[in-house]
């Protein structure tokens, strides 16, 4: 019994001390849209995300055209003011709330 408890404690410690892999966040993407893009786009995040279906957003992102497409949708946006680390979050936001998705953002 003592060996089992020691093994479980070791596994729990290992899992707790292992760093997690950072991934893009839909919530962060929504926040970035609200704070940095909405003013220049002139419309809500719902309208922005629904300009394409989820599959279309995925293809645009995979082709490396996500920034160009964002600029096309929001021509007044200065894409240089958007940090590189934010683009992945914006993509996750647009993919999650794109046409055909079942979620509606609150922005």
| ∠ Cα 81 86 90 (to 5°) | 110
Domain boundaries, the chain: 26-97
Residues 5-37: pLDDT tens digits? 665 565 565 554 444 344 678 999 999 999 999
pTM over the 0.75 mark: no
The partner residues of 99 in beta bridges, in order of sequence, read: 53
Q: What is the mean pLDDT of the chain?
A: 83
Cβ-based neighbours of 44, under 8 Å, separated by 6 or more: 38, 105, 107
94 or 100: whose pLDDT is higher?
Answer: 94
């Amino acid at each position: 019994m003592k060996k089992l408890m020691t093994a479980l404690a070791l596994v729990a410690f290992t899992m707790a001390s292992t760093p997690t892999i950072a991934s893009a966040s839909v919530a962060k993407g929504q926040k970035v849209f609200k704070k940095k893009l909405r003013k220049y786009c002139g419309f809500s995040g719902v309208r922005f995300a629904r300009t394409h279906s989820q599959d279309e957003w995925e293809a645009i992102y995979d082709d490396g055209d996500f920034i160009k497409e964002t600029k096309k949708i929001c021509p007044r946006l200065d894409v240089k003011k958007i940090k590189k680390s934010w683009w992945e979050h914006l993509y996750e936001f647009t993919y999650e709330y794109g046409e055909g998705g079942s979620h509606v953002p609150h922005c």
